């Protein structure tokens, strides 16, 4: 398995000494979650858009909340409002975050095993072995992993389903913060059964579909809604898992692609630094002249 530290790697690319990285022949890309794995049910029909879940997610990481965030390195979950163009009384909120796929494409795409599916359900990220190639970002069908572009040593960021809290026997912070029951945590099989029960008990007000039951082979996050899921921005996807498609492609890509991707990150950072220094110098010159 590749063991090179990412910082060392960035240094080596900066000195022009980057060598070729050979992708391993075999790697344990995904441990398929068991039937007992955990999941989260999000009921968009019940959601009132209070955004307490957003705040709880950021509070867990001591990051201040902002208005109308987009999914990025700081914001691992966001609540968006959907309104129909020609009838704004038809609306719904939608919570977006990592779907914790049962057979995740991000895990399959990662050449060093920095993304892993745990048997408990969460898909977690190990920054200590990540080399910054961002294949996980390209592979994710939900456009979830985000990169810390402005950081000196950038990491990939995404919801980890509060794996640390689950290990302590707690519920994810966002679920705990949702006081009206739009979020529910438990065994995925139980969440799936409850999702179908809610739909069957109110078929007029729910779309007859549990999003995540089959998409890309199934996800640990399940979503039910009164508005068609694709209108809420959820992609229409195959029921086949993607790793069977992505890993053969990954193996065909020469290791040099990893080097190029990392070098591009390094150059992006250098360029950004130069711009910032130029702006600071200009501001100092302006204040000296006034």
Count of residues engaged in binding ligand SF4, rule: CB under 6 A? 39
Nearer to ligand SF4, 106 or 192 (CB): 106
Pick one of 39, 104, 154, 217: the residue that binds ligand SF4 (CB under 6 A).
Answer: 104
Cα–Cα distance, 218 to 239 (Å, whole number): 7
The residue range among 11-19, 80-88, 91-99, 225-233 that interacts with ligand SF4, by the rule CB under 6 A, is: 91-99
Q: What angle do CA 119, 121, 127 make, to 5 degrees?
A: 90
Q: Report the greatest alpha carbon distance in the chain.
A: 73
**Contact status: 174 vs ligand SF4 (CB under 6 A):** yes
CA distance 63 to 272: 23
Residue of 21, 33, 131, 224 that binds ligand SF4 (CB under 6 A): 131
Answer yes or no whether residue 136 interacts with ligand SF4 by CB under 6 A. yes
Q: Distance between CA atoms of 225 and 257, rounded to whole angstroms?
A: 41
- Between the alpha carbon of residue 285 and those of residues 271, 272, 277, 289, the distances in Å are 21, 20, 12, 6
Q: Which of 35, 16, 124, 29 is nearest to 76 (CA)?
A: 124
**Which among 129, 140, 146 is positioned nearest to 258, based on CA atoms?**
129
Q: Is 161 in the site for ligand SF4 (CB under 6 A)?
A: yes
Q: Of residues 145, 154, 217, 243, which one binds ligand SF4 by CB under 6 A? A: 145
Q: How far is the CB of 207 from ligand SF4 (least distance, A)?
A: 21
Instruction: Tell me how far CA of residue 284 lies from CA of 196, 272, 276, 287, in angstroms.
Output: 63, 18, 12, 5
What mask, x for binding ligand SF4 by CB under 6 A, covers residues 185 to 224?
----------------------------------------
Stretch that binds ligand SF4, among 26-34, 42-50, 168-176, 282-290 (CB under 6 A): 168-176
Q: Which of 98, 178, 207, 234 binds ligand SF4 (CB under 6 A)?
A: 98
Binding-residue pattern over the window 43 to 72 for ligand SF4, x denoting contact by CB under 6 A: -------------xx--x------------
- Is 41 a binding residue for ligand SF4 by CB under 6 A? The answer is no
Binding site for ligand SF4 (CB under 6 A): 56-57, 60, 76-77, 97-101, 104-106, 109-110, 112, 114-115, 123, 130-136, 140, 142, 144-145, 156, 158-162, 172-174
């Amino acid at each position: 398995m590749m063991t090179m530290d990412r910082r060392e790697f960035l240094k080596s690319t900066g000195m022009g000494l980057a060598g070729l990285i050979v992708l391993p022949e075999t790697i344990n890309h995904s441990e398929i979650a068991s039937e007992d794995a955990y999941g989260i049910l999000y009921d968009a029909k019940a959601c009132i858009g209070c955004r307490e879940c957003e705040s709880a997610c950021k509070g867990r990481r001591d990051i201040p909340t902002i208005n109308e965030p987009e999914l990025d390195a700081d914001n691992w979950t966001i609540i968006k409002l959907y309104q129909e163009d020609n009838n704004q009384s038809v609306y719904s909120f939608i919570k977006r975050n990592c779907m914790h796929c049962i057979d995740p494409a991000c895990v399959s795409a990662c050449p060093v095993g920095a993304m892993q599916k745990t048997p408990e359900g969460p898909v977690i990220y190990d920054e200590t072995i990540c080399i910054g190639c961002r294949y996980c970002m390209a592979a994710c069908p939900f456009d979830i992993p985000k990169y810390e572009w402005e950081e000196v040593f950038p990491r990939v960021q995404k919801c980890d389903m509060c794996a640390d809290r689950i290990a302590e026997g707690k519920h994810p912070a966002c679920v705990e913060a949702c006081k009206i029951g739009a979020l529910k945590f438990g065994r995925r099989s139980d969440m799936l059964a409850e999702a179908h029960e809610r739909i069957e008990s109110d078929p007029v007000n729910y779309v007859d579909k549990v999003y995540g039951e089959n998409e890309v082979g199934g996800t640990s996050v399940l979503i039910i809604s009164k508005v068609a899921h694709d209108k809420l921005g959820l992609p229409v996807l195959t029921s086949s898992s993607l790793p069977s498609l992505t890993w053969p492609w990954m193996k065909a890509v020469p290791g040099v692609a990893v080097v190029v991707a990392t070098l591009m990150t390094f150059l992006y950072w250098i360029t950004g630094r130069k711009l910032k220094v130029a702006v600071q110098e200009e501001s100092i010159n302006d204040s000296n002249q006034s």
